[in-house]
Amino acid sequence: MIGLLIAAFILLDPFDLVPSRGVRRPGSDPDLVREAAHYFEANHRTAEDYVLDRLERDEVVILGEIGQIRRQIEFATGLVDRIALTGVRTIAFEHLLAEDQTRVDALLDGDGAFDRREAADLFMRRHVLFGFEEYVDFLEAVHRYNADRPADSEALRVVALAPRFHFEHIETQDDIGDLDVMRRVVGDSAPDDFMAEVFRREVLDAGERALAVITLPHAFSDFVPPSLVEEMEPLGYENPRPFGVIADEMTDGTVSTVLLHGPWPDEERQSNLNYAVDGHIDAILDEVPDTMRRAGFDLGDNPLGNLRVTVGQYARGADSLRLRDLAGGYVTLGPITAYASTRPIRDFYTAENIEYARMNFPGPTEDELTPEQLQEFFRGQVEAFDGWIDEFQ
């Protein structure tokens, strides 16, 4: 999480300072791909129906998203009107501050018109470089459901999970590499532990089932990525585990993670991104009809669950990692080449919030930074991310 929040703008190279080399799909065994494609066609369900079915089977379903991928958050938004049919009334959401829960409840209660400025400000408070229209659309869909629901039905509630990071402690570039400073930035609890404790208090203790929208690697409920351990242990956090793993322990194994197809982290790539599952999923999507590309399926001892994972950050240090070792389900929303970034909120930075944005920027910044300058920087970051997606071949 710290890497995402602090170094994202550096890795994405918004000013196009580093020449691109492209992201080439790893080669796949044609026979393996053919077998998996046949299984895919014979066993797939629509992506939406699959997740709804998982919600009926499991106490908690975690949608593992990358963050900032338009198709992924739009998919979650499309589920809002239907999840109540499964008896689920709670959506746990990583992208809002837990301390803002009262404001979130007021925003989404369904009374009056939806306040998109308030929603944007709530995202600003979570992270000053995460102001995207599609995430506001997600909250608006919850508000609309609550406004239109029958009077005798329960409202949907979004539970905000995120801790506040104290970026004001970062005064120089050197501070980012100072473990003592970064420990003060993160706080007393590791982020995943904090989110899991909020989830226990607001969801599990209330006897609720939930859909959770969580970014990777925090979404994993059966797998501890080495990168998470390497990031948290030097800061003094013992036994670091993803939110999903902790939540699964809290519920005695009734949490399932469904991965949304998209790029996976790979520190050996210039963009820090690479094809998921060694490129096998995209190779399979090349073999199936277009009408089947939005699909969901269980992972287990089958041709899809047995796909090897050897490329990228999750595979580092693993001898025989399979896709089924990472999650219980997988949803494809099309090939990665069809993906794009979420859209930046226009006028995300204003005269009213620029001081907050400067104070909470994930790195040193200038005191004279204007809303227009920061908006341009943010726009450059989004364009850079789109550029990295375009690199997939």
- The boundaries of the domain holding residue 314 are 2-9+30-390
Residue 34 lies in a domain: yes
Task: Specify the 3-state DSSP secondary structure of 258.
Answer: strand
pLDDT at residue 16 above 80? no
Residue 23 lies in a domain: no
| Contact of 219 with 62, CB cutoff 8 Å | yes
If we measure between CA atoms, which residue out of 128, 164, 182 comes closest to residue 369? Answer: 128
Structure tokens given for 13: 């190279």
pLDDT single digits (tens) 60-106: 999 999 999 999 999 999 999 999 999 999 999 999 999 999 999 99
pLDDT single digits (tens) 2-13: 444 434 443 344
Helices (H) and strands (E) in the chain, counts: 14, 10
pLDDT band at 21 (very low <50, low <70, confident <90, very high): low
Residue 43 lies in a domain: yes
| Contact of 18 with 235, CB cutoff 8 Å | no
Average pLDDT on 346-370 reads: 91
pLDDT band at 317 (very low <50, low <70, confident <90, very high): confident
CATH value at residue 324: 3.40.50.11550
Give pTM, 2 decimals: 0.93
Average pLDDT on 116-125 reads: 98
- Work out how many domains the chain is built from and give that number: 1
If we measure between CA atoms, which residue out of 306, 386, 298, 378 comes closest to residue 342? Answer: 386
Residue 191 lies in a domain: yes
Task: Specify the 3-state DSSP secondary structure of 307.
Answer: coil
pLDDT single digits (tens) 127-157: 999 999 999 999 999 999 999 998 889 999 9
Task: Specify the 3-state DSSP secondary structure of 361.
Answer: coil
pLDDT band at 20 (very low <50, low <70, confident <90, very high): very low
Residue 75 lies in a domain: yes
Pairing of strands 45-46, 294-298: antiparallel
| Contact of 25 with 279, CB cutoff 8 Å | yes
Residue 18 lies in a domain: no
Residue 50 lies in a domain: yes
Structure-token match 């030097």, residue found: 234
pLDDT at residue 115 above 60? yes
Pairing of strands 60-65, 210-215: parallel
Residue 17 lies in a domain: no
Average pLDDT, the chain: 92
pLDDT band at 287 (very low <50, low <70, confident <90, very high): very high
